[in-house]
Amino acid sequence: MNTPKAGAGVSFEQTEEQELILESLVEFVEQEVELVVEKLGETLSNPRLGHDPDGRLSDEVLEAEAQIRKASAEAGFYAMNMPAEVGGDDVSAVTWYLAKKQLAELGVPLTSAVLAGPGGPKPLLAQATGEQVERYLEPTMAGEKTTAFAQTEPGVGSDSPNMATRAERDGDEWVLNGTKQWITNAPYADFVQVFARTSPQDEVGRYGGVTCFIVEADEYEIGSLNNAVGAVGRQAEVELDDVRIPADRVLGEEGAAFYDAMDFLGLGRIEIAAESVGRTNWLLDAATEFANDREAFGRTIGNFQGISHKIARGRANAFAADAAGLRCAWLLDQGEAAIAESSICKWLATNTFWEVADDVVQIHGSDGLAEENPFMDNIHRARIMRIVEGTDEIQLNTIAKQYGVE
């Protein structure tokens, strides 16, 4: 007979510290974020607004983001997952997952200004040494500077080790040539972390020979904006045409950028999963309220199984995706690479978000399509999530391979 073993099983109980962080995060949103959102109204909450006719984000949106970023850094939230040695709080991956999910559940804009998103410090930046610490790492931790992470190119996305961007050493300098595209925050960043090949693949293997360089905003050109539906103004091409930078701008070890990036892949994937699960829960709350209120054929539409089952299926899938996200975060906290698990949780959460976003439009009928409502925007967001940080197909390839399919 199985005897339950106290303390030896699985616990999803939140620690006191986690509860405190989540409560104070909600307070921060109520006190700081909602004020800014009220002041700017739809300009902030509607991703179809908030940019100028040339496609760039408007100054007021950029200022609001900067204001919240700095306030959040001061309050200790913004980069709390970063190591304590570089000014973070070293919170666990589970705590970071819970915080990102909590924020998304609130359904407020500016989330990547509250908890560092693509423009904020990532573990790769924690490898900064010498002058890089004061010039790039510290101000990014404080929310005073922002960055971008440039890997994708016109010729390669998923197959990024095949990149065309090259860096060659010339005395005390590196010379960079190439074009990156779809780089989030590139038009507004103070510096970009550029991946470039420094040794050919046939000498060092597929993942070797790629180095990460810090390139400052006045050293590269912004080409066209890459406006994704649902994220207009945020992505752009970064053009590097014989860009000369000093030798001390290498971030991390020369030739090892891919190995460094792979170490942090799991974290990026649970961040996407957390946002997806949080947004899914928010959408399902909205759909439940609507289903309990809206009447048709003499009863509330929640009485129709065609409606209630959409909500039930969404809840079940969100529950599973959340459990996968938590388990994956826990594995990362145990020092595991969680390669299969991070692909599983990213794939599960983003596909759940996508299906629920579509169902929630359907549940709302025409209101689901209305421009002033956020439901179609969530469809766009969910669609983006299934492509960034590794597409659906790349996640499924990884899962199949990790489970032995050759």
Ligand X SMILES: Cc1cc2nc3c(=O)[nH]c(=O)nc-3n(C[C@H](O)[C@H](O)[C@H](O)COP(=O)(O)OP(=O)(O)OC[C@H]3O[C@@H](n4cnc5c(N)ncnc54)[C@H](O)[C@@H]3O)c2cc1C
Judged by beta carbon, residue 145 or residue 310, the one nearer ligand X is 145
Q: Could you tell me the smallest distance in angstroms from the CB atom of residue 296 to ligand X?
A: 37
End-to-end CA distance of the chain: 40
Q: Residue 118, interface with ligand X (CB under 6 A)? A: yes
Q: Look up tokens 């990149």; give the residue.
A: 163
Of 266, 355, 272, 282, which is closest to residue 104 (Cα–Cα)? Answer: 282
Which residues, 286 to 345, sit near ligand X by CB under 6 A?
none
Q: Does 228 bind ligand X (CB under 6 A)?
A: yes
Joined tokens for residue 372 = 């002033």
| Residue number with CB closer to ligand X (113 or 228) | 228
Q: How many residues bind ligand X (CB under 6 A)?
A: 21
Which region among 177-185, 217-225, 264-272, 336-344 touches ligand X (by CB under 6 A)?
177-185
Neighbour count for residue 229 (Cβ, 10 Å): 14
**Spatial distance between the Cα atoms of 382 and 348, rounded to a whole number of angstroms:** 12
Among 66, 106, 175, 231, binds ligand X (CB under 6 A): 231
Q: How far is the CB of 313 from ligand X (least distance, A)?
A: 25
Residue 141 tokens read as 């931790």
Site mask, ligand X, residues 374-403, x = CB under 6 A? Answer: ----------x--xx--x-xx--x------
Closest to ligand X by CB, 173 or 377: 377
* Least CB distance to ligand X at residue 372 (A): 23
Of the candidates 152, 317, 350, 352, which one interacts with ligand X according to CB under 6 A? 152
**DSSP string computed for 205-252:** -TTSSEEEEEEEGGGSEEEEE--BTTBTTTEEEEEEEEEEEEGGGEES
Residue 175 near residue 131 (C-beta atoms within 8 A): no
Name the nearest CA neighbour of 230 among 99, 49, 366. Answer: 49
Closer of 87 and 268 to ligand X (Cβ)? 268
| Residues near ligand X, by CB under 6 A | 118, 148-152, 157-158, 182-184, 228, 231, 235, 384, 387-388, 391, 393-394, 397
